Amino acid sequence: MSEAIIQEQVKRSYEHGWETDIASESAPPGLSEETVRFISAKKEEPDWLLEWRLSAFRRWQKMTEPTWAAVEYPPIDYQAVSYWSAPKDPSEGPQSLDEVDPKLLETFEKLGIPLHERAALAGVAVDAVFDSVSVVTTFRETLAEAGVIFCSFSEAVKEHPELVRKYLGSVVPPHDNFYAALNSAVFSDGSFVFVPRGVRCPMELSTYFRINARNTGQFERTLIIVEEAAYVSYLEGCTAPMRDENQLHAAVVELIALDDGEIKYSTVQNWYPGDENGKGGIYNFVTKRGLCKGARSRISWTQVETGSAITWKYPSCVLMGDDSVGEFYSVAVTNNLQQADTGTKMHHIGARTRSTVVSKGISAGRSTQSYRGEIRVDPGASQARNFTQCDSLLLGDACAAHTFPNIASRNATATLEHEATTSKVSEDQLFYCRQRGMSEEDAVNLIVNGFCKDVFRHLPMEFAVEAQKLLAVSLEGAVG
Amino acid sequence: MLNIVDLRARVGETEILHGIDLQIQPGEVHAIMGPNGSGKSTLGKVLAGLEDFEVTGGQISYQGEDLLDLSIEERAQKGIFLGFQYPIEIPGVSNDYFLKTALNAQRKARGEEEVGTADFLRQLKEAMALLEMDKRYRKRFVNVGFSGGEKKRNEILQLLMLKPDFAVLDETDSGLDIDALQVVAKGVNALRGAGRAFLLITHYERLLRYIEPDHVHVLVEGRIVRSGGKDLADELESSGYTEYGEEAR
């Protein structure tokens, strides 16, 4: 972790300290039972949740950081991190777009983000953002009519404790892994979605609309439940680069689908990747898992990962219900000195369960990227089927791409297919496109977008367009 | 339109073009014929600006500009088109999207507005009808899984859509059966005139039965050894290139 950021955290925290009143912004650095209690108290949580956090914390203390991923970074001092930082007061943020970093605005411009959204994304005080409040209100009313619950995690704990208590940790148990345990102990906030039986959520849910989600920060917790024959499409993140002062991110996302339920979860992750020399940037250590609990349920992960200095992320599906379906479609782009170790795990438990994995990795600059996948078929998963395709595209000759597929089948009737390719953007392709009048940069974008086609077509329309533009921005200067 | 003076080019240490002189006027169709390895394709690629070939001497002026100062895409934007001998595959990119992107890149460079979707589709349908291409080719990925003949037809489709001022067609006839050859010729003939010039690079006289050239040049071992009218092609068909072998040395 960058020394400067630690120093900054330390400095800021000490300004306030433990003894300051309730208005204090940050907890002092360090992690102890006291910290966990502090966070829980700040959030006015019920006892059961505090106990849940404390038990996660005790487990975490006995765990060690995983080192199997193909990423390198200096050791993280978990005692130097501050684990609580209240959402910033909007009045302290920029008051107008004139006060926002021009480089950030330039990126918004390239991404074609509408002017009023740019302000919101840049963290301009809410009252300077036209219409956002009314948008959120209309949106909430429509959802309430349909019976869909969509709120912050903290609200859900207060208003729907029985649901939270029933499902929290049921897919990613607190002791699942080092980062999940850490998150369980200190998670700040996140999103909660509940779609009752038979309801198709009338709109795509996006964290972007939930303005208060903007500063939920470091240890986000998301829980999405769809009941029998219900459906939701959830979009995570926005396509603007989030400049975040927190370097370490360890989120947990849990999805649960009951009989015939379906969840489509799309992510476009564009956190700060660090500069061209690898300085700064977010460490993104995320645990995302979906449980296809009911028969014929379906969970689909679609992700476009272009940001973060280090990505450690494996959105997975546990296919428990008979005939349930898991899907993973991923585009990961790394440039400069970024490192990404990402992939998925499909765990076939129920009979006739099916899974599809399509992973497209694009490496440029001096970046390193790994696909890590596991397909596991249990004895009861007769006639399970998996198709995996993972393709790597290299730009230039200083980057690297690796593939670590793991396949373990304990049922002889299962059918598993794995295809993998590695290719380069060829000089011939570039010459061909340029001969037709395209600039070299446009040609690379065209070729790369073609390479990602199989994944982009699974993104909601508007996201797909933004993802294409985002790719262009991420790969700027990758050739020539 | 195009004036090539004493053009010399090499790849690595090997000089391939040993001093080419060629003038092409607007509206003219020239054919360059010659045996394999004579430098025909090299000439096409040098005109298009491929950096693999180093121009070591001579000049090329195109529409009054020094062509050698321009990048590949600038040449394309100024109306130079190269029909590839081996068209390139671009997986995941549909034919229509590719064409539209190329067309708009050229229009933008010329300070023109982007082509409207309806207008573009109308033009595309017309061009595909002329080339007897099934409409499913619109959504097929550029040249992916196309047969040799389909790829060549697709090159002509691009030619029709981009409407260049000067087109170099590199061995467009190779790998085509007579029916396909006629269709390709139809495409080229549809664009003839209107000040548009063509340079046909070919090994055989066959293509020239369908696209009648104004001038024929024989290229052997990096030099134009003979120039003439259409009759020269017929003559080559019966006598072959062997007699030029000695002369070229």
Q: Which of A135-149, A209-223, A228-242, A393-407 has the highest mean pLDDT?
A: A393-407
Answer whether residue A26 shows pLDDT above 90. Answer: no
Please name the member of B52, B73, B162 whose beta carbon is closest to the beta carbon of A434.
Answer: B73
Question: For the segment A270-325, what is each residue's pLDDT rounded down to a tens digit?
Answer: 777 777 776 777 788 899 999 999 999 999 999 988 877 888 889 999 999 999 99
The C-alpha R_g of chain A, in whole angstroms, comes to 22
| Mutation target vs B (from A427, A430, A438, A451; most B CBs, 10 A cutoff) | A438
Residues belonging to chain A: 480
Question: Cβ A429–B90 below 8 Å, yes or no?
Answer: yes
| Mutation target vs A (from B53, B71, B72, B155; most A CBs, 10 A cutoff) | B72
User: Within 13 Å and on the Cβ side, how many CA atoms surround B206?
Assistant: 16
Please name the member of A431, A440, A451 whose beta carbon is closest to the beta carbon of B92.
Answer: A451
Average pLDDT over residues A24-42: 81
Other CB atoms within a 10 A radius of the CB of residue B240 amount to: 11
Question: Cβ B81–A449 below 8 Å, yes or no?
Answer: no
CA distances from residue B137 to A410, B146, B153 in whole angstroms, order as listed? 44, 10, 11
CB of B118 closer than 8 Å to CB of B146: no
Count chain A–chain B contacts defined by CB atoms under 8 A.
Answer: 74
Answer whether residue A17 shows pLDDT above 70. Answer: no
Report how far residue A227's alpha carbon sits from residue A263's, in angstroms, rounded to the nearest whole number. Answer: 10
Residue with tokens 């979906």: A290
Please name the member of A437, A453, A454 whose beta carbon is closest to the beta carbon of B105.
Answer: A437
Exposed (0-12), middle (13-18) or buried (19+): which is B56, by Cβ within 10 Å? exposed
Average pLDDT over residues A190-204: 91
H or E element in which residue A256 lies: strand A252-257
**ipTM field:** 0.95
Question: Cβ B141–A432 below 8 Å, yes or no?
Answer: no
Please report which confidence band the pLDDT of residue A21 belongs to, taking 50, 70 and 90 as the band edges.
very low
CA distances from residue A48 to A45, A164, A174, B227 in whole angstroms, order as listed? 8, 11, 14, 94
CA distances from residue A16 to A31, A39, A41, A257 in whole angstroms, order as listed? 16, 15, 17, 43
Mean pLDDT of chain A: 81
* Chain B nearest CA to A421, separation (Å): 13
Answer whether residue A212 shows pLDDT above 50. Answer: no
pLDDT reported for residue A384: 97
Least confident interval from A99-113, A152-166, A262-276: A99-113
Question: Cβ A437–B102 below 8 Å, yes or no?
Answer: yes
Non-local CB neighbours of A7 within 8 Å, separated by 6+ positions: none
Q: Which two tokens stand for residue B191?
A: 């664009």
* Chain A nearest CA to B54, separation (Å): 16
Residue A54: phi and psi, rounded to 5, are -65, -40
Q: Which is more confident, B146 or A102?
A: B146
Report how far residue A372's alpha carbon sits from residue A71's, in angstroms, rounded to the nearest whole number. Answer: 12
User: Within 13 Å and on the Cβ side, how many CA atoms surround B205?
Assistant: 14
Exposed (0-12), middle (13-18) or buried (19+): which is A422, by Cβ within 10 Å? middle
Answer whether residue A254 shows pLDDT above 90. Answer: yes
Partnered with residue B51 across adjacent β-strands are: none
Which of A315, A299, A330, A270 lies closest to A466, judged by CA?
A: A270
Report how far residue A226's alpha carbon sits from residue A263's, in angstroms, rounded to the nearest whole number. Answer: 7
Report how far residue B177's alpha carbon sits from residue B171's, in angstroms, rounded to the nearest whole number. Answer: 13
The helix/strand/coil state of A215 is coil
* Chain B nearest CA to A91, separation (Å): 43
* Chain A nearest CA to B154, separation (Å): 13
* Chain A nearest CA to B132, separation (Å): 22
Question: Cβ A439–B81 below 8 Å, yes or no?
Answer: no
Pairing of strands B197-202, B166-170: parallel
The helix/strand/coil state of A252 is strand
Average pLDDT over residues A384-405: 91
Report how far residue A290's alpha carbon sits from residue A225's, in angstroms, rounded to the nearest whole number. Answer: 10
Whole-model pTM above 0.90? no
The helix/strand/coil state of A83 is coil
Q: Name every chain A residue with its beta carbon within 8 A of the beta carbon of B92.
A: 449-454
Question: Cβ A434–B76 below 8 Å, yes or no?
Answer: yes
How does pLDDT run along chain B (249 residues), one tens digit per residue?
Answer: 999 999 999 998 999 999 999 999 999 999 999 888 899 999 999 999 998 999 999 999 999 999 999 999 999 999 999 999 999 999 999 999 999 999 999 999 999 999 999 999 999 999 999 999 999 999 999 999 999 889 999 999 999 999 999 999 998 888 788 888 888 898 889 999 879 999 999 887 888 889 999 999 999 999 999 999 988 888 887 777 777 764 443
Could you tell me which residues of chain B have a Cβ less than 8 Å from any Cβ in chain A? 48-50, 52, 71-73, 75-77, 81-82, 84, 87-93, 98, 101-103, 105-106, 109, 141, 158, 162
Which of A279, A280, A369, A366 lies closest to A333, judged by CA?
A: A369
Residue A89: phi and psi, rounded to 5, are -70, 125
Closest-CA residue of chain B to A428: B88
CATH of the domain at B167: 3.40.50.300
H or E element in which residue A82 lies: none
CA pseudo-torsion sign A166, A170, A174, A180? negative
According to DSSP H, which parts of A78-228 are helical?
102-111, 115-121, 132-146, 153-159, 161-167, 178-186
Report how far residue A473's alpha carbon sits from residue A471's, in angstroms, rounded to the nearest whole number. Answer: 5
Average pLDDT over residues A175-203: 92
Q: Name every chain A residue with its beta carbon within 8 A of the beta carbon of B100.
A: none
Question: Cβ B76–A435 below 8 Å, yes or no?
Answer: yes
Q: Name every chain A residue with its beta carbon within 8 A of the beta carbon of B76.
A: 434-437
pLDDT reported for residue A68: 82
DSSP track, A388-406: EEEEEEE-SSS-EEEEEEE
Kindly provide the residue ranges of all beta strands, DSSP E only, lying in A168-247, ordered along the sequence.
191-195, 205-206, 221-226, 231-236
Least confident interval from A119-128, A444-453, B237-246: A119-128
Non-local CB neighbours of A340 within 8 Å, separated by 6+ positions: A71, A305, A308, A310, A311, A313, A332, A334, A361, A367, A368, A369, A370
Residue with tokens 């049922």: A411
Q: Which residues constitute the domain of residue B237?
A: 2-248
Question: Cα–chain-centroid distance for residue A338?
Answer: 16
Which of A71, A313, A338, A321 lies closest to A177, judged by CA?
A: A313
Q: Which two tokens stand for residue A209?
A: 């609309």
Answer whether residue A245 shows pLDDT above 60. Answer: no
Exposed (0-12), middle (13-18) or buried (19+): which is A273, by Cβ within 10 Å? buried
Please name the member of A429, A437, A447 whose beta carbon is closest to the beta carbon of B73.
Answer: A437
pLDDT reported for residue A93: 57
Domain count, chain B: 1
* Chain A nearest CA to B248, separation (Å): 31
Closest-CA residue of chain A to B77: A437
Exposed (0-12), middle (13-18) or buried (19+): which is A28, by Cβ within 10 Å? buried
Question: Cβ B102–A431 below 8 Å, yes or no?
Answer: no
| Mutation target vs A (from B42, B45, B73; most A CBs, 10 A cutoff) | B73
pLDDT reported for residue A69: 79
DSSP track, chain B: -EEEEEEEEEETTEEEEEEEEEEE-TT-EEEEE--TTSSHHHHHHHHHT-TTSEEEEEEEEETTEEGGGS-HHHHHHTTEEEE-SSPPPEEEEEHHHHHHHHHHHHHHHTTPPPPPHHHHHHHHHHHHHHTT--GGGGTSEETTT--HHHHHHHHHHHHHHH--SEEEEESTTTT--HHHHHHHHHHHHHH-BTTBEEEEEESSSGGGGTS--SEEEEEETTEEEEEE-THHHHHHHHH-SHHHHHHH-
pLDDT reported for residue A248: 78
* Chain B nearest CA to A470, separation (Å): 18
* Chain B nearest CA to A334, separation (Å): 20
Q: Name every chain A residue with its beta carbon within 8 A of the beta carbon of B75.
A: 435
Report how far residue B225's alpha carbon sits from residue B38's, in angstroms, rounded to the nearest whole number. Answer: 11
Q: Name every chain A residue with its beta carbon within 8 A of the beta carbon of B82.
A: 435
At residue B109, what is the residue type? A
Give rounded-to-5 percent helix, strand, coil for chain A.
30, 30, 40
Question: Cβ A433–B92 below 8 Å, yes or no?
Answer: no
Report how far residue A235's alpha carbon sits from residue A206's, in angstroms, rounded to the nearest whole number. Answer: 5
DSSP track, A265-316: EEEEE-B----TT--S--EEEEEEEEEE-STT-EEEEEEEE---SEEEE--E
CB of B211 closer than 8 Å to CB of B187: no
The helix/strand/coil state of A346 is strand
Which of B122, B158, B128 lies closest to B143, judged by CA?
A: B158
Q: Name every chain A residue with its beta carbon within 8 A of the beta carbon of B87.
A: 432
